[in-house]
Chains A and B, each alone.
Chain A
Amino acid sequence: MSQILNPDELEVVDGREHENLEGWVPALATDEEVRLALEKAFDYRGDVTLTFKSGDRVEGYVFNRISGKTLADSFVQYFPANAPDKRKATYAEIARIEFTGKDRAEGKHWEAWVKKYNEKKAAGEKNIQLVPEALD
C-alpha cells in the first residue's frame, strides 16, 4: 500500500477508476494470474462463471476470498445464481474464470444522473427519477 503523508491535509480525494471487466476472460497460466483474477472477481459487482478442473461449471457472485500460501489453501466463497446456499472452492480447483454477468456498478455515476435529469427536465417531464432495476 502506498503511504499518504498527511491525510488530514487532503482537500479532495481521488476516487477509484472503475474497471470495466464485463466479458473478460483472464489467462490463468500462473499462480499469480489465478490470484489476480480471483481478486478482481471478488471486487466485481456482477456474476462470474467458474469452470472447475472437474468439468463442473457454475455462474455465481463471488463475495469472499481467503488467500493462503498456496492455491490449494486459498479459497473463494460464492452464491450460485440458481441456488440459495453459500459455496466454497479452492483456487486450485478453478480452471477458467469468465466475467459473464452484467457489471451492476457500470455507468451509475452522479454526472450521468444529473445529465439525465437536466435532459428530462428540459423536455418537460415530471416525477423524474432513477428506478431500481427489475429483479426478475
Chain B
Amino acid sequence: MAVPISQMWTVATYVIKKRLSGVKRYPLVLMLEPLFRCNLACAGCGKVQYPPHILKKQLSPEECFAAIEECGAPMVSLPGGEPLLHPQIVEIVNGLVARKKYIYLCTNALELKRRIHEFTPSKYLTFSVHLDGQREHHDMSVCREGGYEIAVDGIKEAVRRGFRVTTNATFFDGTNPNDVRSFFDEVMGMGVEGIVLSPGYSYDKAPDQHHFMGRAKTRRLFRAILSNRKKSWKFNMSPLFLEFLMGKRSYECTPWGSPAYNIFGWQKPCYLLQDGYTETFKELLETTDWDGYGTSSGNPQCANCMVSCGYEPSAVSHGFGSLSGFFAMAKAALFTRYEDKGALDLLNNSFAAKHDQLVKIEGVKLPAVAQLEETRA
C-alpha cells in the first residue's frame, strides 16, 4: 500500500472512535468542490456544464474551512472544476493543512508546473493528477492533444520538489486493460507515490451517456487489470476496495462517506448524484432518504455504480472497523500479487486487440472461465 502510516493511523483512529461512540453515519473524505470552472472541456464530464455566471462563482477559503469544521472528515478531496484556477487555492490548502487534514488536490496539471512554487510540501498535501492512461488515450479522454505531456511535466516537477503525488484515472467502456497495465509501469516510473483509479459512472448530468460499463463488465475489466500485479505498482487506495472492483468482495454503498460541498451547498445524496442540496451537513445526514440509494435499494441511478466515492468508504470502514476486516486488509496489503489464470486469459484473449480510440468492448467473446466468474461479487 502506498498510503503513509501516519495517514492510515489518522483514519484508523477516526473510524474506531466513531464506531466506539456509536455513530452510525460519519464522513471519511469531504469532496470539497471550490469551483466548477475548468480549463479542459472533456466530453464525458458532467461537472462543468453550467451557465457562465455559475462557472464564475467559487467558494471562499472561509466557506471551505467552515465545511470541513462542520463535517469533521479526516481527509479532503479538492476536485472541481480545476482547483488550480481558484485564485485563493493556496490559502485554502494552507488552511486545511493547518487543520491537519489529509488533502488530495485533484488537478489536470495544466497549471501545476506554473503554480507549484506557491505550495509547500507537506505530508498532508497530495497532488492527485488526472491521468486517464497512456499519451494517446489520455489526450483523447481529456479532449486535448498535448494534455498528457503537460500533465507529466507537472507530475515530474512536483515529485522533484518533494511533494506527495498520485495519479488519478477513471476508466470507461472501451478501456483496454493491457494498455492500463503498461500505463501503471509508466506512472510508477515517474516517481509517484501511488495510483488512484475508479470506474466511470453514468450520472445523468454527464453529456456523454454512451460509455458506461455495467457492474459485470466493470468487475471483469478490473479483474484483468489488477490481477497478476507487478511488485512495482502501488495503489493509494484501500486494498479492500480494489478487491471489490475485482469482484472478490461485495459492499454496499456508503454515500455519506464522501459528502460533497460546493457553491450550491451540501449535495444530496453523494458526489455523483444531484438530488438536491442542504444548507448544513447535519441537515444532509438527517433529511436524506439514505435507504433510497445504493445498489440494494433498486434505484436505477445506482445500479451500475462501483465508484470509489461510494464504495471506498465502505471498504475503509470494514478494514478499520472490525477484526475480520483488519485481517483482510493486512492480508491484501501483504499479498499483492493476486495470481489469476482466468485474468491472464482475459488479457491475452478478450482484450488483446489494440484499439485506436476507446473503442467499445461490447461483443468481446469471453473465455468460459470469465463468463462463469464475472458475476461472483
Contacts and interface: CB of A to CB of B under 8 A. Distances in A.
B210 A15 contact: yes
A66 B264 CA distance: 14
A135 B299 contact: no
Contacts of A66: 276
B216 interface: yes
A79 interface: yes
B277 interface: yes
Given A3-B298, A132-B40, A61 B207 contact: no
Q: Is the interface of A mostly helix, strand, loop or mixed?
A: loop
A61 B303 CA distance: 29
10 contacts: A1-B298, A1-B300, A8-B295, A8-B375, A9-B215, A47-B51, A84-B57, A129-B145, A135-B37, A135-B56
Interface string B279-309: 0000000000000100100111011100000
Contact of B52 (A16, A108, A111, A135): A135
Interface of B: 37-44, 46, 48-57, 140, 143-147, 173, 202, 204-217, 263-265, 276-277, 292, 295, 298-300, 302-304, 357-358, 362, 375, 377
A105 B54 CA distance: 14
A97 to B, nearest CB: 16
Interface in A10-27: 10-18
Given A10-B216, A109-B207, A45 B41 contact: no
A104 interface: yes
Given A63-B277, A64-B264, A130 B144 contact: yes
The 10 A-B pairs of least Cβ separation, nearest first, read A15-B209, A10-B214, A108-B207, A129-B144, A130-B143, A130-B41, A7-B303, A13-B304, A113-B43, A104-B49
A133 interface: yes
A131 interface: yes
B267 to A, nearest CB: 10
A35 B144 CA distance: 41
B53 A112 contact: no
B39 A132 contact: yes
Contacts of B298: 1, 3-4
Given A11-B362, A129-B143, 5 more contacts: A9-B375, A16-B202, A79-B263, A109-B207, A129-B145
B207 A13 contact: no
A3 B212 CA distance: 19
Contacts of A12: 173, 212-214, 217, 362
A77 B263 CA distance: 12
Contacts of A9: 214-216, 375
Given A13-B303, A128-B145, A101 B216 contact: no
Interface string A52-65: 00000000010111
Contact of A17 (B49, B53, B54, B209): B209
Interface string A88-104: 00000000000001101
B52 A133 contact: yes
A127 B205 CA distance: 28
